[in-house]
Structure 1
Amino acid sequence: MSTHPSPTDITTYGGANLPDTFTDPGHGPHRLRRTDTDPAANKRAERQVVLLFAVSIIGTVLFLVAYVLVPPGDTAASMRTSNLLLGLGLFLGMFGIGAAAVHWAKTLMNDHERTDERHSLTPSEETRQGAVQALQEGLADANVARRGVLKGAMFSALALAPLSVAVPLIGEVGEDWDITKFKHTIWKKGVRLASDPSGRPIRAAEVTLGSAFHVIPANLEDEEHPLDEKAKAIVLMVRMDPRDLKEAEDRRGWSYEGIVAYSKVCTHVGCPVALYEQQTHHLLCPCHQSTFDLADGAKVVFGPANRPLPQLPITVDDEGYLVAQSDFHEPIGPSFWERLT
């Protein structure tokens, strides 16, 4: 049985007669902060805010220096160093401004609580003038005009911070915008399929039923290729019962005894698809859960991707190694590359 009172009993709940309305208790007594009573603490807080703005300025300068003097390059080490410096500079630039604003508001600006009655949506002229007056009082209360160093630090930080976004955007002008390069990878006729990352060529006899291999071109060890070219060439290869394959007429002969190879670059936003489910032959992208059916041309069966994964035509050479018949016959990666070309 419920022990909660009904709405009709609420005024006498617990044997006490409760009033129909409650008096507004108003604001509690205002507690002065140390910066309100101690001029030395107030000055110290101001210096701390200036220091935080200075951190923002240093961070933005670090970002710009790293962008100009430490480019990503073509190696993993250079990319890691560049990304670390850019990320650190961007973090300090944004964090310094945010922390300074919070610390300024909590220690130097007026913290008296005020209550304004709610009026109609269309205020009177008197109300509008009162609002303008309140804004002017708030600006005066911030004491920006009398804090020259703080004002200079704030405006410097705010002026420099947008450069973290503007400079990289401007730097893209004049770059190579030839998007047709995304139509091709370094796969070509006769290139052996090799295990990633060891680079060891794979024999067809090694690929057992139900197994999956992460694959790269075997010629990566013999030739120098930029990292972006290597990233475009990643492939997932699986072997299934040939009777489970549903091959289009124009793709018959692209597989070898149930072994199929597809690009690992998701056609949604380019994440690496690598989670293979043996029983269903489904391949899952971990980023946004796009799911592809490798038994049916890697068609999309779930998720935001809107086209199948490109298939790499494969066969075997005279020594039994799996090799590519050609490059992919369509652009790899997100669908927008295909639409732009």
Structure 2
Amino acid sequence: MSENQNTPADASTEVTVGSQAGTAVGPAERFPDPGIPEHKHRLTDTDPRAARRAERTVTLLFVLSILGTIGSIVAYVMVPPDGTASGVRLSTLLIGLGLAVSLLGIGIAGIHWAKALMGDREMVQERHPLATNDADRIVAVKDLNDGLADSGVVGRRGVLKGAFFAALALFPVAIAVPLIGSVGGDWNISAFKHTMWKRGTRLAIDPSGRPIKASDVTVGSVFHVIPETTEEFRETHEWITEKSKAVVLMVRLNPEDLRTDQSPEGETWSHEGIVAYSKICTHVGCPVALYEQQTHHLLCPCHQSTFDIADSAKVVFGPANRRLPQLPITVDDEGYLVAQDDFAEPIGPSFWERLK
């Protein structure tokens, strides 16, 4: 392609193609304007019955969205978590299904509306100076009004319009109701300063609750640990809350690999290389459970904070700014691993009452 440089810089100076490279040719050999392809009518453009079917389909999809929103609110109110794992799963499933139906209804209805009912003619608007005169403004307003009327939003299809606005207006309610319902929750942050662990509480395997003997823990092995408690208590709502604060990861190292084996007061917090630390990351509270045996590093999968188990679970990488709280352990007369006391510091991420 080359540009005819011998003509004035006006509408006639367009890109042309010569018979040979580098040869300028006249206006007669310019590319013809292909224009807009011939408009192909859809079935809904030519068949009123098809248009009515499409309108009913879109309306039903919006109504389905409304029902999904209402269903999620009903599930939140009528099926609250009862403290058991199955109860939490059922409540979450029902609320999630309601929100999914609500969003899918709006999305699919909008797509079908655009493809079947809204105008689909291609239009061309010539470029012009940014500053327009009054006549151009009048034409632009008329084009906008024509397009709005052609979309079917105003003037006709009143039922569809009502379903559309109702679905959009109701969906935020499905999100607002759970948020408002959580305002009255427990905001007592001091509850995180203490857990179920106390002197003599046996360490048990999560989730079976079977107590662990020191002889069962081999070098390099990893155990997910919870406090031993009764079967009846594990079926209560309180157990879910208490367990979430008391979960522990226990590892056995060679005793000579431990670089720090004592509390600040000089008490031994481990037993023959067995150490136990809170599983709750001190960054934002994700479960820390990826253990690398060769380096003794414990990795948080959320933001890659890394803790050195051999050195009091100190932070060696990542955004966490404090080590994992250690659970001081020992063994009882029967050889079972037991806690010496609760964690020496609050578990979980930093909050506003702590500097770190």
- The interval holding the TM-score normalised by the smaller chain is 0.7 to 0.9
> Which residue pairs with 2:254 in the alignment?
241
Paired residue total: 330
- Comparing 66-75 and 168-177, the one that deviates more: 168-177
> Which residue pairs with 1:294 in the alignment?
309
> Which residue pairs with 1:325 in the alignment?
340
Superposition map of 1:1-341 within 5 A? 24-118=33-127, 122-124=130-132, 126=134, 130-144=139-153, 145-221=155-231, 223-224=233-234, 225-247=238-260, 250=264, 252=266, 253-336=268-351, 339=354
Percent identity, aligned pairs only, is 64
Q: Distance in 1 between matches of 2:318 and 2:142?
A: 54
Alpha-carbon offset, residue 77 of structure 1: 1.3
Alpha-carbon offset, residue 300 of structure 1: 2.1
Q: Distance in 2 between matches of 1:142 and 1:340?
A: 58
- Comparing 139-148 and 244-253, the one that deviates more: 244-253
Do 1:182 and 1:337's aligned partners in 2 also have CA atoms closer than 8 Å? no
Give RMSD over aligned pairs.
2.8
For the pair shown, the structure with the greater C-alpha radius of gyration is 2
Deviations 1:97-154 (A, max 9, x none): 111111101110011112334556x543555555444332221112222111111111
Do 1:262 and 1:309's aligned partners in 2 also have CA atoms closer than 8 Å? yes
Change over 3 Å in CA distance of 1:117–1:251 after alignment to 2? farther
Q: Distance in 1 between matches of 2:299 and 2:182?
A: 33
TM-score, normalised via structure 1 length:
0.87
Do 1:193 and 1:201's aligned partners in 2 also have CA atoms closer than 8 Å? yes
TM-score, normalised via structure 2 length:
0.84
Do 2:200 and 2:341's aligned partners in 1 also have CA atoms closer than 8 Å? yes
Q: Distance in 2 between matches of 1:83 and 1:308?
A: 33
Q: Distance in 2 between matches of 1:316 and 1:262?
A: 16
Q: Which runs of 5+ in 1 are unaligned?
A: 1-10
Q: Which runs of 5+ in 2 are unaligned?
A: 1-16
Change over 3 Å in CA distance of 1:42–1:250 after alignment to 2? same
> Which residue pairs with 1:8 in the alignment?
none
Alpha-carbon offset, residue 71 of structure 1: 0.5
Change over 3 Å in CA distance of 1:202–1:35 after alignment to 2? same
Do 1:59 and 1:92's aligned partners in 2 also have CA atoms closer than 8 Å? yes
